[in-house]
């Protein structure tokens, strides 16, 4: 049997532990069965945290992958940490519970571990602004916890002001703010704010410009070719991607890298056997250009556009 990796955990305000590495599942396109296969490989190699969303249109396959591994006896449901997200067109308080129930039906699960408000913006199904206050949405999220449909709730893509307002007015505080963080977009201000509130910042698109998926940023991606970073990777016998993930983990930030490639699914988990020095952390940090891979330009102009 191949190696199974163990992953450190972080404590959430809702008094549960979340594995520091989750398996991201968003893809612009996928072959039939590809999500299911990737989730199965991920669980086999040791991922216990899986990140999906209703908008990814993959909850059925992600749920199949999870349930197949539970049926095989490889894991139990309570060993897994599953996150899904509420889409922008279901922000009305009365819609939130219904939307999570639909996600659970697609996932074929009784509950999720974390339910996130995917974006602070609200729209109708045509993408037009409905200007629903995310505090209204949050009441629906809290109801999901009361009903036992999710163990915890959080947000994604909230800016500092939005997060503070939510935190100050919530009955149940958010466990996490899932946001883009990577070596070229280090987000110190937001990470510091989260830490003050004990809200966990979760890094999406953690590979940033190192990822091969981002050819549109050629010219900005010196981090892919820089010889100093190459030498650092060589020193630890790791890849640049592993150095990027390790940098985030050492800042105390959980990461959710996505891959459909079996070897990379393993590579992205294999980062707990080395430690970057302070100087090496600074080298990784020196590639910061405050550049967002996910600016969500399509939401610009909506009332609660966060960036």
- Contact call for residue 51 and ligand NAP (CB under 6 A): yes
Among positions 107, 144, 256, 302, the unique one binding ligand NAP when judged by CB under 6 A? 256
Closest CA to 242 of 271, 266, 199: 271
Among positions 54, 88, 268, 304, the unique one binding ligand NAP when judged by CB under 6 A? 268
- Contact call for residue 156 and ligand NAP (CB under 6 A): yes
- CA 168-136-99 angle, to 5 degrees, is 120
- Contact call for residue 175 and ligand NAP (CB under 6 A): no
- Convert residues 10-29 into a mask of x (bound to ligand NAP by CB under 6 A) and - (unbound): --------------xxx---
Residues 52-81 that bind ligand NAP (CB under 6 A): none
Contact 179, 187 (CB under 8 A): yes
118 annotated to bind ligand: yes
Q: Whole-number minimum distance, CB 61 to ligand NAP, in Å?
A: 14
42 Cβ contact list (under 8 Å, min separation 6): 23, 50, 65, 265
Among positions 211, 224, 232, 306, the unique one binding ligand NAP when judged by CB under 6 A? 211
- Convert residues 234-253 into a mask of x (bound to ligand NAP by CB under 6 A) and - (unbound): -----x-x------------
Torsion of CA 290, 294, 298, 299, to 10 degrees: -70
Q: Whole-number minimum distance, CB 259 to ligand NAP, in Å?
A: 4
Residue nearest to ligand NAP (CB): 24
Among positions 162, 205, 270, 304, the unique one binding ligand NAP when judged by CB under 6 A? 205
Residue 13, judged by CB atoms within 10 A of its CB (0-12, 13-18, 19+), counts as middle
Given the residues 26, 35, 47, 56, select the one marked as catalytic. 56
Q: Whole-number minimum distance, CB 274 to ligand NAP, in Å?
A: 15
5 is an active site residue: no
* Cross-strand partners of 21: 255
Residue 151 or 238 having the CB closest to ligand NAP? 238
41 Cβ contact list (under 8 Å, min separation 6): 262, 265
Under DSSP, is residue 61 helix (H, G, I), strand (E, B) or coil? helix
Handedness of CA 121, 217, 28, 271 (dihedral sign): negative
Among positions 48, 238, 246, 258, the unique one binding ligand NAP when judged by CB under 6 A? 258
- Contact call for residue 213 and ligand NAP (CB under 6 A): yes
Locus of tokens 């703010």: 177
Q: Whole-number minimum distance, CB 205 to ligand NAP, in Å?
A: 4
Residues comprising the binding site? 118
Residues at the site binding ligand NAP, with contacts judged by CB under 6 A: 24-26, 51, 118, 156-157, 178, 204-207, 211-213, 239, 241, 256-261, 264, 267-268, 294
Residues noted as catalytic: 56
Residues comprising the binding site for substrate? 118
């Amino acid at each position: 049997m191949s190696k199974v990796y163990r992953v450190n955990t972080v404590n959430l305000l809702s008094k549960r532990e979340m594995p520091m590495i989750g398996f991201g599942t968003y893809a612009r396109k996928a072959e039939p069965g590809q999500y299911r296969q990737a989730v199965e490989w991920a669980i086999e190699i040791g991922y216990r945290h899986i990140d999906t969303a209703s908008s990814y249109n993959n909850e059925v396959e992600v749920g199949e992958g999870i349930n197949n591994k539970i049926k095989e006896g490889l894991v139990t449901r309570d060993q897994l940490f599953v996150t899904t997200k509420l889409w922008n067109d279901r922000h009305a308080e009365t819609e939130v519970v219904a939307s999570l129930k639909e996600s659970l039906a697609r996932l074929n699960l009784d509950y999720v571990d974390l339910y996130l408000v995917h974006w602070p913006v609200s729209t109708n199904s045509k993408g037009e602004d409905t200007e629903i206050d995310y505090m209204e949405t949050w009441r629906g999220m809290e109801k999901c916890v009361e009903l036992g449909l999710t163990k915890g709730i959080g947000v994604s893509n909230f800016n500092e002001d939005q997060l503070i307002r939510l935190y100050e007015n919530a009955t149940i505080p958010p466990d996490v703010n899932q946001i883009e963080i990577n070596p070229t977009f280090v987000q110190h201000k937001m990470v510091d704010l989260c830490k003050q509130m004990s809200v966990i910042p979760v890094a999406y698109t953690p590979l940033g410009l190192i990822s091969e998926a981002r050819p549109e940023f050629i010219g900005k991606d010196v981090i892919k070719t820089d010889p100093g970073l190459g030498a650092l990777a060589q020193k630890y016998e790791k890849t640049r991607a592993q150095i990027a993930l390790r940098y985030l983990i050492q800042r105390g930030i959980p990461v959710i890298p996505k891959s459909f490639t079996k070897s990379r699914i393993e590579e992205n988990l294999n980062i707990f056997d080395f430690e970057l020095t302070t100087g090496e952390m600074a080298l990784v940090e020196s590639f910061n250009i405050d550049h967002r891979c996910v600016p969500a330009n399509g939401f610009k102009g909506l009332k609660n556009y966060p960036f």
